[in-house]
Structure 1
């Protein structure tokens, strides 16, 4: 149990101004090899930051319109800027899933929110389905009060039809994994327009979390 009002609540309020939300966290233990915090000392706790649905999209577009020059990977750049500003306010080190060397974001996410991968590899959330993302994390050199991860039902275990594995015209997802070259060739080819404009057909085939499904322009 965390107190009625905490540092995590203040961080959540700061993130909400950009359509982002805290995505759970935990304190590192003696068996972990934590990354360094702001000063270079080992971090003691991590709070993941991400989105539920497409809430950040309007904020991102307004930011993008203000940029005077084209930016490579603009969504990553926006995420770094926003989460970095919040990190400065709360004396944390901001890190990104695309930072190198790569940090174990998916393992952190499973540990923080009790999630498991779907057949597509995206973590299945009991409320958001496949329509969520992790945009970064805040590393603290002290332990901050965080809610304990709760037990969640893994919806993929109860889904018998698995439409997420039956919608792709080139069967890019299978028990053997993701055939990314096959996927790219199809998406870039003459028959790939539905995927290019409306998003992954397998992902859209999932029946869960549809209220949070990204609009077509976001998926494109």
Structure 2
């Protein structure tokens, strides 16, 4: 098991080698039922791992080029390998948002960074806007020196125009929620080319964090994964 002193900084440095960053964390409190840690005892702390912008994209592409065959979910596989290696080094258990039964990653993220959802459901970050993601988490069986997050200004509250709700040709996002089937049918259909190649039009319409927006090839990759193309 790692010693708490200085461990969080060392983990952050290890993740940066692959373009990943720590996205906050917290110690579980008495009365909670946390997931199990590396030795199957209840975890006492969690650190979230993710990305800002497309920083991991070059590392992921280099890894993918080295694979001998097709992989069903290559980005998830790469993320699990990278985060798993860091977990092994630092005596943690690595978990993924795709693991079943699903763990409350979005609730953990809101708790760890004080973020709130945008109208698109993606958490709004004060610096990255909608251009960030959570790729996994590290569970520890000892508490870590983690400062409680202060809730940042929720940028969506200051956005009167809400262009993120006006750019989708099939109005997939509304006050009623996400019309998943309408979005999927459009992306797969004859008129979905701009979405397939350039990403979600609603997401791209958001004025915040545009310096971190994913490049077109990354957005096309994510959209293809969403649509099963």
The Cα shift of 1:146 comes to 1.6
Structure 2 gaps, min length 5: 221-229
Q: Deviations over 1:13-64 (max 9, x none)?
A: 0000000000000000013110000000000000000000000000000000
Q: Deviations over 1:102-143 (max 9, x none)?
A: 000000000000000000000000000000000000000001
Partner of 2:191: 191
Partner of 1:44: 44
Structure 1 gaps, min length 5: none
Partner of 2:225: none
Partner of 1:74: 74
> Equivalences for 1:113-124 in 2 at 5 Å?
113-124=113-124
Please tell me whether residue 89 in structure 1 is matched to residue 94 in structure 2: no
Partner of 2:135: 135
Name the CA distance, whole Å, in 1 between partners of 2:161 and 2:84: 42
> Equivalences for 1:1-220 in 2 at 5 Å?
6-220=6-220
The Cα shift of 1:147 comes to 2.7
The Cα shift of 1:151 comes to 2.3
Normalised to the residue count of structure 2, the TM-score between the two structures is 0.93
Name the CA distance, whole Å, in 1 between partners of 2:144 and 2:216: 38
The Cα shift of 1:148 comes to 2.0
